[in-house]
Amino acid sequence: MKIGIVVDNELNSDIRVLREIGILKEQGFEIFVLCFGFIKMYREPATGIYVTRINIPKKFKDILFFLLNTIPVYEWLWTTKIKKFIIHNRLEFLHVHDLYMARAAYNGIKRANINIPIVLDLHENYPYTITTYNWTKGLLRRLISRPDKWKKKELEYLSYADRIIVLSKDFRDILSEQYPQLAAEKFVVLPNVPDLSQPEYKNKRVVMNPFKQGFPIILYYGVIAERRGIFDALRVFINLVKEDFHVNFLLIGPVDKKDKQLFSELTGSDLLANRVHYIPWIELKEFPGYLEICDICIAPFHKNPQHESGVANKIYDYMLGGKPIIASNCKPQQNLIEKHDCGLIFENITEFHDAIIKLLNDKLLREEMGENGRNAVVREYNTEIVKEKLILLYKTLNR
Same domain? For 155 and 231 the reply is no
Among the listed residues 105, 214, 239, 226, the one whose alpha carbon sits nearest the alpha carbon of residue 163: 105
Q: Which domain holds residue 357?
A: 199-379
**Contact residues for 129 (Cβ-Cβ < 8 A; gap 6+):** 306
Same domain? For 373 and 389 the reply is no
Would you say residue 380 has pLDDT above 70?
yes
Mean pLDDT of the chain: 94
For the stretch 382-391, pLDDT in tens is 999 999 999 9
Same domain? For 227 and 313 the reply is yes
Same domain? For 34 and 18 the reply is yes
Q: What's the pLDDT score for residue 197?
A: 85
For the stretch 278-312, pLDDT in tens is 999 998 889 999 999 999 999 999 998 888 888 99
Counting residues of the chain whose pLDDT is more than 90, the rounded percentage is 82
Same domain? For 185 and 217 the reply is no
Would you say residue 398 has pLDDT above 80?
no
Same domain? For 280 and 155 the reply is no
Q: What's the pLDDT score for residue 93?
A: 97
Same domain? For 388 and 293 the reply is no
Q: What's the pLDDT score for residue 273?
A: 86
Residue 43's pLDDT band (cuts 50, 70, 90): confident
Same domain? For 318 and 289 the reply is yes
User: Looking at residues 347-359, what average pLDDT do you find?
Assistant: 97
Q: How many domains does the chain have?
A: 2
**Contact residues for 20 (Cβ-Cβ < 8 A; gap 6+):** 5, 95, 121, 190, 390
Q: What's the pLDDT score for residue 399?
A: 58
Same domain? For 212 and 359 the reply is yes
19 vs 381: CA distance, rounded Å: 14
Counting residues of the chain whose pLDDT is more than 70, the rounded percentage is 100
Q: What is the pTM of this model?
A: 0.90
Q: Are 163 and 397 in contact (CB under 8 A)?
A: yes
User: Looking at residues 75-95, what average pLDDT do you find?
Assistant: 98
Same domain? For 68 and 119 the reply is yes
For the stretch 45-76, pLDDT in tens is 888 999 999 999 999 999 999 999 999 999 99
* Bridge partner list, 55: 37
Report the CATH number that the domain containing residue 147 is assigned in CATH.
3.40.50.2000
Same domain? For 65 and 125 the reply is yes
User: Looking at residues 122-133, what average pLDDT do you find?
Assistant: 92
**Contact residues for 119 (Cβ-Cβ < 8 A; gap 6+):** 93, 94, 95, 96, 161, 162, 163, 164, 165, 393, 394, 397
Same domain? For 181 and 251 the reply is no
